[in-house]
Each structure stands twice: as structure tokens, then as C-alpha cells.
Amino acid sequence: MNGVLKHSPLGTSADEEPDDNDLLQEVAAGARYALQRLMTRYVRQMLSLAERMTGNAADADDIVQEAFLKVWKMAPEWRIDGEARFSTWLYRVVLNSCLDRRRRGFSPSLEEVAEPADAKPGGYEAALAHQRRDIIVDAMMKLPERQRAVLSLHYFSELSASEIAQVLGVTRSTVESLLVRGKRALRRTLTRAGITGIRDVL
């Protein structure tokens, strides 16, 4: 892959990263390495969002793969001078796919996908961390969809209120209201589970 990148028409030096629009132009021309670079740039954030929205790592993986397949297909139509940034569009695609999948009832419960504890040294700590992660995912799954989406984008994707508003297609004040209500509801659920602060499980 390095050889391909060296001779790519992106016009960047070895220490200069092409921006998303440059990469999308290359994807539109059929360059798979450009799609791979976009995946490397965004796949972790998208998997994190998808898993917390669906409560299921397998569903999250499928959703993100489908999202990048859409990137490959839509690249020739991408408008560089358009209003939406690529990252905003990608968050929206992943989020909508998560909501569609939840409505169709594809995701199994957390109990069905739970992993056994690791017997190796440190396995207890890892199991505890996994359990705490499951608690917050389970708590978030009980929230209304829009509150869950706002909290996921805020805490796990670290988007600003303005960026979340662009992803969801709502006003910033709506995002802030959803964030307040979502935090309050999540805090109540976590308190009942014996967790006194949201940051305890992040």
C-alpha cells in the first residue's frame, strides 16, 4: 500500500494528510487505498457510536461496514462545495442505520452477547470494566432514541452541540435540551445500578 500512496495523485507530502474531500475524489476515481484511509480516520468513532446505539458489537460492525460501502458508492456524487462535511454525513448515515436496525428488532439483548470472564492475570479487572461498559450501554438503551443519540455523540464521539445539531438536523437549543434531559435520565438509571457518576463508566 505504501507504494501506491507514494505515487498517488493527492499531491501531499509524506507528513501531510489529505483532507476528506481529497480522499473522496480519489475514491470516486476508484482508489481503494483512499477509502482505506477514510476508514482508518473514522472507523473507531463510528464503531463506538454504533455499538452504544444498538447495544451489540456485531450489529455495530455490520452497520459501519455498510456505511463505508455507501461511501464507496456515493463518492462520485459528493459535492466538495456542499454544506455538509463528510464527517457529519457519515455520523448521520451510521446513526440512521442504527435507529433503523433497532426499530426492526435485530439486536439481541446484552445477556445474549455477554462474554465470559478472562481467567488470565488481570482478567477480573477486564471483566469488571466490561461489566461497567455493559451497564452504561444497557442504561442508554432505555433512553428515548434522540436522547440516546445526543448522549452518544456528546460523550463518545466528543462532538460539540453545534456539530450534533448538524448530524441530527435540529437546532442547537434542541440538542442542549435533549442533552440535559438525557443526562438526568441516565444519571437516575446509573444510580439505581450503583454507579454515582456518568464518568465512572466511561
Question: Residue ranges per domain, the chain?
Answer: 15-113, 114-202
- What's the whole-number mean pLDDT along residues 28-54? 93
Confidence (pLDDT) at 190 = 82
Which one is predicted more confidently, 150 or 108?
A: 150
Cα–Cα distances in angstroms (integers) from residue 34 to residues 18, 19, 53, 62, in the given order: 10, 11, 28, 21
- What's the whole-number mean pLDDT along residues 66-85? 88
Record: fold of 114-202: Arc Repressor Mutant, subunit A (1.10.10)
132 — pLDDT class (breaks 50, 70, 90): low
Q: Model's pTM, two decimal places? A: 0.71
Confidence (pLDDT) at 36 = 95
Share of the chain above pLDDT 70, in %: 73
**What whole-number distance in Å separates Cα of residue 202 and Cα of residue 191?**
15
Q: Which helix (H) or strand (E) holds 17?
A: none
- What's the whole-number mean pLDDT along residues 41-70? 92
In our burial notation (b when 16+ CB lie closer than 10 A, e otherwise), range 23-49 reads bbbbbeeebebbbbbbbeebbebbbbb
- Of 35, 85, 33, give the one whose Cα is nearest residue 64: 35
**What whole-number distance in Å separates Cα of residue 161 and Cα of residue 179?**
9
> And the C-alpha cell for 89?
454525513
Q: Is 202 a residue whose pLDDT tops 50?
A: no
Confidence (pLDDT) at 108 = 43
Average pLDDT, the chain: 79
Q: Is 79 a residue whose pLDDT tops 80?
A: yes
198 — pLDDT class (breaks 50, 70, 90): low
Q: Is 25 a residue whose pLDDT tops 80?
A: yes
**What whole-number distance in Å separates Cα of residue 118 and Cα of residue 121?**
8
Share of the chain above pLDDT 90, in %: 45
State in words which class domain 15-113 has: mainly alpha
80 — pLDDT class (breaks 50, 70, 90): confident
Confidence (pLDDT) at 155 = 82
Confidence (pLDDT) at 99 = 85
Conformation bin of residue 20: beta by default, left when phi > 0, alpha when psi is -120 to 50 = alpha
